[in-house]
Chain A
Amino acid sequence: MGAFGPMKTTFPILLLVMVRAVAPAQSVFEQRHAEVVRVASDERDRSFSTITAKLKTGNDVPYALAMLDSLTKDEAIGGMFYSYSLIGCYLHTQDLLPDSLKRKVREAYRTRTMYRGDTENHWVMYYTGLYLAAQTWPDEEGSRWFNGRSSSENFQEARDWLDHWITISSTRGQGEFDSPTYITTFMTPMVVLYDFALDPVMKKKAQMMLDLLFVDFAAEHLQGNYGGGHSRDYPEDIINPLAAPSTFWAWLYFGEPGFPPWVETRYRPRHRSGWEPVFGAVSSYRLPDIIYRIATDRTTPYVHTETKRVRNVIRFGKELNPPAFKYTYVTKNYILGSLHGGILQPIQQHTWDVTYVSDKPNNTIFTLHPFYSGKELAMFFPEEEKFLSDEVDRYHKVYTNPNKWNSSSPYEQTFQHKNALIVLYHIEQGVKQPHINGFFPKNLDEFVRNASGWIFCRAGGTYVAIYPLKPYQWMEEEVNWRLRSHELNNGFVVEVGSLDEDGSFEAFQKRLRLKKPEYSGFDSNRTVEYITRNGDRMKFTFGGERVLNGRHHSFKEYGFFNGPFVQSKLGSGVIRMKYKNQTRTLNFNNVSLVDTP
């Protein structure tokens, strides 16, 4: 790898220049796609995406064939990641493969267990792989497959589940929704399914799912950042939003941020190489222009709400998939977004943040309660409650860490109105890790804590003000300041502004310095009232009502999607995108897609 290290920073730039020089007629969009494939073709890591890139470009073909051969022979590899990416690589490159290697690929689906996994993304990968493999080798009996079922049985099983997933995702939302980390595990199988499903109906469904996944992202996208609340996110991605895999997809399809993700090492997460978007880059799927516009036009600030669903609650719940409500406020400078709170996902939930445009990493501010419990995990996993915390820690490393940056908590709830947010905590006595953490990057341009009680932050043209209801400690860490409060009944009022909205940072502070939330009875009634700097009166009771300007705040108004760019009634299966005079309507009920004009 050493020989390739220095090339990584310079080669893509040279390549971009070269591509532009030789293909002036190509769109910038096509150039990005070509660039991904070409750069990936120089990578040496052992993955189906880089093999695909090498074979597609003709670069390093002997090495690619050797890698593919070793992956098909290596019985130490298998499972859902393997299943869909092996068939994707095969279908993209089969014309270039020797017959002996083709046979080895086929044999892999007989000789090893393709483990289905236990999460939504696992099943999407598993069933996409099974669908395409069964389609590729039809009319074979059960003895030719790892699970003893015939090609037709496997095909039908995979088709039925994919139909089920597409239906529920287009009517009630994903369980693993809006995940900057896991987005790749949905995008990649869907582009492969779109490219190779022979059934035109399934192909159309895959296309519509890609449109849905992309517009879901686009409406909460800001210059490469996936803003707002997330069902699942790795802590590295939460505190450094452009490090998330979603950034790669944003760059590839939206053209933002303005640099290829592999060039900026400060945004390259240390724990993965992330070349799966190669499958997007070689795909014939093309992003509709309207989604590109929705992702990139930030001329006018807007509110965007959504309803998603909690993943399967197998224990300790009254409902298998309760709703999860999202509220997001998007401007050209920042996104303030929140989930309504509580346990909506185990392990990796990210409930709220403000993420702002910056040329520096760690461009986000948020708070959380670092909750953990075996009972929370037992809601979602069938293992024994007494072991689950330790078991999850083995994989995810931070679940029981008091300093972790991702967590759901039954003791955290939010109420947001545009650029103002109230987040409340009501932590019961005896709960493990009974404290609240707040993340504030150290690279803020300005930072003020004064007697007003507010914490003021400026990052470029974005201003953030946070009013902690209770005392807290302030701790310096490597890239951030950590706010920590041990007060069990607690909360924060958050206001976000900008140069456009407020003028100078000093003016922003001045508007807020004399403002105070009313929470004198908070310890007994858990209620906070606050009049925003824009004059809106918010009243929020933990476990009770959210009231805006005297009117009950209803989650029913959130719709499946409700915003200027995306509209959908919950359960309807019809998603309407709108940008100026363009519209695109996805109707999953009759698998139709209609554009106007």
Chain B
Amino acid sequence: MLLLLLILFQVIESPQYKRVGGSVNQLRPALYAAVYINKGSTSVGSLSSIGLFRRYEGDTAWVNLRPNTITPGMGFTSFGDRHQLYLAGGNGLHRSTDEGRTWRVLTGWRTKEVLSVALDPADSLRLYISTPFGVYRSTDGGSTWIEKMRGFKTWFVRRVILDRVNRNMLYATGEDALYRSMDGAETWKQLSIGVPGIKWVMQHPADSNLLLVGTEDHGVRYSTDRGETWKQAAGLDTSAVYTLASTRDGSALYAAGFQTGVWRSMDKGATWSQVWKAPDFDAIYSVCVNPRNPEHLMAGTNGSGVSESFDNGRLWHDAGLPNAIVRQVVMYP
């Protein structure tokens, strides 16, 4: 067979539509996992067990939500009782309005691979994506996209997020720096973090002035003035940090990355201590905290699927998706 050969898919389970609370539009809480690649595959074209997966809270079984494309990220939003689920993937940005039963690709070939999506909670038509070729914005619900890179010095953008308070403010992790836009992505300003290789950016859920970034070689840095000035976090200062997470109230923050295990900060990111060494995992790409149970943590790993802890991260166990490189885990709603 030639080279990369044909693409192998696993048998897809039909999504089940379990609803709670009596309302047909009330989503049952679930953990979603973005599986980038599965290490069980031996060919770059083998796509078995990749895409978006869902596990309902209280269940153990994962359901593949179908688009079998490499999947680095996802996004959720709701307008009234209508939920929208987004998948950022190799085939583009996908949207489902029926809980993952059907999908529509929103982007064309010009935007290429989509790495992350940022959604405006007040405007369903306004979307932002980051790609290896820049940031794109849509103001018509994903029908058309315009590149928005004025002010960037490089074009690779790993992640873009929207400020929780100011809908015109965005943050984007570029190859060389963190960038901020004050005008809905029209223009961008490079922020002076002091180190390149920004991997993740998070806005503190209880303090919108507090930004935290994970970096390639300098652990966590944080800013208390929305990015104007930055400080090095203590305790986690020489590692590659790929992800940051928070409890709903921001009382506990978590960080993980390359050979770091899981770290926690109880002082809004100023100091960190390790809570789990994770000796069996070479990297953790994503951590999320159950919004209804702050002691329940989930971690997406580099080739070992999902792990979870029910005691603030002290003890962890395998939660499924063997061999999967899980780039993002999100509990929604």
Q: Check if A314 sits within 8 Å of B132, measured CB to CB.
A: yes
Q: Check if A147 sits within 8 Å of B109, measured CB to CB.
A: no
Closest B residue to A316 by beta carbon equals: B175
* A272-B2 contact in complex given A314-B133, A316-B175, A391-B37, C-beta closer than 8 Å: yes
B98-122 CB mask vs A (1 if < 8 Å, else 0) is: 0000111100110001010000000
Q: Check if A77 sits within 8 Å of B7, measured CB to CB.
A: yes
Q: Check if A115 sits within 8 Å of B68, measured CB to CB.
A: yes
A60-85 CB mask vs B (1 if < 8 Å, else 0) is: 00000000000000011111111000
Instruction: Give every chain B residue within 8 A of A537 (Cβ-Cβ).
Output: none
Tell me whether A453 is interfacial, beta carbon within 8 Å.
no
Closest A residue to B103 by beta carbon equals: A148
A260–chain B nearest beta-carbon distance, Å = 18
Tell me whether B54 is interfacial, beta carbon within 8 Å.
no
CA distance A234 to B154 in the complex (A): 32
Instruction: Give every chain A residue within 8 A of B102 (Cβ-Cβ).
Output: 143, 148
> Which single member of A81, A272, A273, A382 contacts B156 (CB below 8 Å)?
A382
Q: Check if A382 sits within 8 Å of B42, measured CB to CB.
A: no
Interface secondary structure of A, over-half rule: loop
Q: Check if A116 sits within 8 Å of B156, measured CB to CB.
A: no
B282–chain A nearest beta-carbon distance, Å = 8
A492–chain B nearest beta-carbon distance, Å = 31
* A142-B104 contact in complex given A47-B1, A316-B175, C-beta closer than 8 Å: yes
Instruction: Give every chain B residue within 8 A of A274 (Cβ-Cβ).
Output: 2
Q: Check if B2 sits within 8 Å of A185, measured CB to CB.
A: yes
Tell me whether A320 is interfacial, beta carbon within 8 Å.
yes
The segment from B45-53, B144-152, B268-276, B306-314 found at the interface with A is B45-53
CA distance A306 to B44 in the complex (A): 30
> Which single member of A79, A118, A181, A387 contacts B3 (CB below 8 Å)?
A181
A115-149 CB mask vs B (1 if < 8 Å, else 0) is: 11110000100010000000000000011000111
Tell me whether B195 is interfacial, beta carbon within 8 Å.
no
Closest B residue to A164 by beta carbon equals: B109
> Which single member of A75, A80, A394 contacts B11 (CB below 8 Å)?
A75
Tell me whether B300 is interfacial, beta carbon within 8 Å.
no
CA distance A161 to B112 in the complex (A): 11
Q: Check if A76 sits within 8 Å of B90, measured CB to CB.
A: no
Tell me whether B242 is interfacial, beta carbon within 8 Å.
yes
Q: Check if A382 sits within 8 Å of B72, measured CB to CB.
A: yes
Instruction: Give every chain A residue within 8 A of B302 (Cβ-Cβ).
Output: 387
> Which single member of A312, A315, A386 contacts B258 (CB below 8 Å)?
A386
Q: Check if A161 sits within 8 Å of B109, measured CB to CB.
A: yes
Q: Check if B91 sits within 8 Å of A147, measured CB to CB.
A: yes
Q: Check if A76 sits within 8 Å of B2, measured CB to CB.
A: no
Tell me whether A385 is interfacial, beta carbon within 8 Å.
yes
* A116-B69 contact in complex given A81-B7, A387-B302, C-beta closer than 8 Å: yes
* A77-B9 contact in complex given A113-B91, A118-B113, A315-B154, C-beta closer than 8 Å: yes
Tell me whether B206 is interfacial, beta carbon within 8 Å.
no
> Which single member of B2, B42, B91 contacts A116 (CB below 8 Å)?
B91
Q: Check if B47 sits within 8 Å of A78, measured CB to CB.
A: yes
Instruction: Give every chain A residue within 8 A of B37 (Cβ-Cβ).
Output: 391
Tell me whether A276 is interfacial, beta carbon within 8 Å.
yes
Q: Check if B115 sits within 8 Å of A382, measured CB to CB.
A: yes
Instruction: Give every chain A residue within 8 A of B315 (Cβ-Cβ).
Output: none
Tell me whether B10 is interfacial, beta carbon within 8 Å.
yes
Tell me whether B125 is interfacial, beta carbon within 8 Å.
no
Tell me whether A160 is interfacial, beta carbon within 8 Å.
yes
Q: Check if B90 sits within 8 Å of A117, measured CB to CB.
A: yes
Closest B residue to A320 by beta carbon equals: B155
Q: Check if B283 sits within 8 Å of A386, measured CB to CB.
A: yes
Q: Check if A160 sits within 8 Å of B68, measured CB to CB.
A: no
Instruction: Give every chain A residue within 8 A of B11 (Cβ-Cβ).
Output: 75-76
Q: Check if A384 sits within 8 Å of B9, measured CB to CB.
A: no
* A394-B8 contact in complex given A113-B67, A148-B104, A314-B156, C-beta closer than 8 Å: no
Interface residues of B in 1-49 (CB under 8 A from A): 1-12, 36-37, 39, 42-45, 47-48
> Which single member of B1, B42, B45, B242 contacts A384 (CB below 8 Å)?
B242
Instruction: Give every chain A residue within 8 A of B237 (Cβ-Cβ).
Output: none
CA distance A248 to B244 in the complex (A): 52
Q: How many residues belonging to A are interface residues under a CB distance threshold of 8 Å? A: 52
Q: Check if B1 sits within 8 Å of A112, measured CB to CB.
A: no
* A79-B115 contact in complex given A115-B68, A157-B108, A314-B156, C-beta closer than 8 Å: no
The interface centre, meaning the residue of B3, B48, B90 with most chain A CB atoms within 10 A of its CB, is B3
CA distance A293 to B83 in the complex (A): 63
Instruction: Give every chain A residue within 8 A of B91 (Cβ-Cβ).
Output: 113, 115-116, 147
B102–chain A nearest beta-carbon distance, Å = 6
Closest B residue to A111 by beta carbon equals: B12
Q: Check if A385 sits within 8 Å of B156, measured CB to CB.
A: no
Q: Check if B105 sits within 8 Å of A81, measured CB to CB.
A: no
Tell me whether B66 is interfacial, beta carbon within 8 Å.
yes
Q: Check if B242 sits within 8 Å of A276, measured CB to CB.
A: no
Interface residues of B in 145-169 (CB under 8 A from A): 154-156, 158
CA distance A360 to B155 in the complex (A): 48
> Which single member of B5, B90, B282 contacts A115 (CB below 8 Å)?
B90
> Which single member of A315, A316, A395 contacts B43 (CB below 8 Å)?
A395
Tell me whether B295 is interfacial, beta carbon within 8 Å.
no
Instruction: Give every chain A residue within 8 A of B175 (Cβ-Cβ).
Output: 315-316
* A272-B115 contact in complex given A77-B8, A160-B108, C-beta closer than 8 Å: no
Instruction: Give every chain A residue within 8 A of B45 (Cβ-Cβ).
Output: 79-81, 115, 117
Instruction: Give every chain B residue within 8 A of A272 (Cβ-Cβ).
Output: 1-3
Q: Check if B155 sits within 8 Å of A81, measured CB to CB.
A: no
> Which single member of B9, B109, B156, B242 contacts A113 (CB below 8 Å)?
B9
Q: Check if B7 sits within 8 Å of A82, measured CB to CB.
A: yes
Instruction: Give every chain A residue within 8 A of B103 (Cβ-Cβ).
Output: 147-148
Instruction: Give every chain A residue within 8 A of B133 (Cβ-Cβ).
Output: 312, 314, 320
A382–chain B nearest beta-carbon distance, Å = 5
A522–chain B nearest beta-carbon distance, Å = 34
Instruction: Give every chain B residue within 8 A of A234 (Cβ-Cβ).
Output: 3
Tell me whether A184 is interfacial, beta carbon within 8 Å.
yes
> Which single member of A80, A182, A382 contacts B132 (CB below 8 Å)?
A382
> Which single member of A81, A276, A386, A391 contacts B6 (CB below 8 Å)?
A81
Interface residues of A in 362-401 (CB under 8 A from B): 382-387, 391, 394-395
Instruction: Give every chain A residue within 8 A of B70 (Cβ-Cβ).
Output: 115, 118
Closest A residue to B44 by beta carbon equals: A395
B71–chain A nearest beta-carbon distance, Å = 11
A377–chain B nearest beta-carbon distance, Å = 12
Closest A residue to B175 by beta carbon equals: A315
Closest A residue to B283 by beta carbon equals: A387
> Which single member of B7, B94, B258 contacts A78 (CB below 8 Å)?
B7
A449–chain B nearest beta-carbon distance, Å = 37
Instruction: Give every chain B residue within 8 A of A245 (Cβ-Cβ).
Output: 2
Closest A residue to B12 by beta carbon equals: A75
Instruction: Give every chain B residue within 8 A of A385 (Cβ-Cβ).
Output: 216
B3–chain A nearest beta-carbon distance, Å = 7
Q: Check if A185 sits within 8 Å of B109, measured CB to CB.
A: no
Tell me whether B240 is interfacial, beta carbon within 8 Å.
yes
Q: Check if B51 sits within 8 Å of A113, measured CB to CB.
A: yes
CA distance A313 to B56 in the complex (A): 40
* A79-B104 contact in complex given A116-B91, A273-B1, A384-B242, C-beta closer than 8 Å: no
With A118-B113, A394-B39 given, can you name 17 additional A-B contacts, CB distance below 8 Å?
Answer: A75-B12, A76-B9, A77-B9, A78-B6, A78-B7, A81-B7, A112-B68, A113-B51, A115-B90, A116-B90, A116-B92, A123-B109, A147-B103, A185-B3, A315-B154, A386-B240, A395-B42
Q: List 7 A-B contacts (CB under 8 A).
A: A118-B90, A148-B102, A157-B108, A182-B3, A185-B2, A314-B155, A395-B44
A residues sitting closer than 8 Å to B (CB atoms) are: 45, 47, 75-82, 112-113, 115-118, 123, 127, 142-143, 147-149, 157, 160-161, 164, 181-182, 184-185, 234, 245, 271-274, 276, 312, 314-316, 320, 382-387, 391, 394-395
Q: Which 5 A-B pairs have the closest CB atoms?
A: A79-B7, A148-B104, A314-B132, A113-B68, A147-B105
